[in-house]
Amino acid sequence: MATDFMQAGVPLLRIGNITPGLITMEGCNYVAPEKAERQWRQFRLKLGDIVISASASTGMVRNVSKTICES
């Protein structure tokens, strides 16, 4: 929910973060670390994961890079 978003915290990717050639952190949302652990833990990205969208289609699929995992 938009009410959960903060200016800093654990990054939460949006469909717009998947761009041709890479996943960008620009414009991502953030949630409190406690909320991320409690509510979003199953979606935590790991190096080598493949990112797709279940709610919208961009026609793009991306692998998670080391840069994303370190964010």
The model's pLDDT over 3-53, given as tens digits with 9 standing for 90+, comes to 888 889 998 888 888 777 777 888 888 999 998 899 888 888 888 888 776
What total of structural domains would you count in the chain?
1
Beta bridge mates, 33: none
pLDDT for 32 equals 93
pLDDT for 61 equals 61
Q: Which domain holds residue 28?
A: 2-69
Q: What band does 69 get if pLDDT is binned at 50, 70 and 90?
A: low
pLDDT for 33 equals 93
Q: Strands, E, within 1-71: which ranges?
A: 10-12, 18-19, 22-23, 29-31, 50-51, 62-63
Q: Is 64 exposed, middle or buried (0-12, 13-18, 19+ CB in 10 A)?
A: middle
| Residue of 10 and 68 predicted with greater confidence | 10
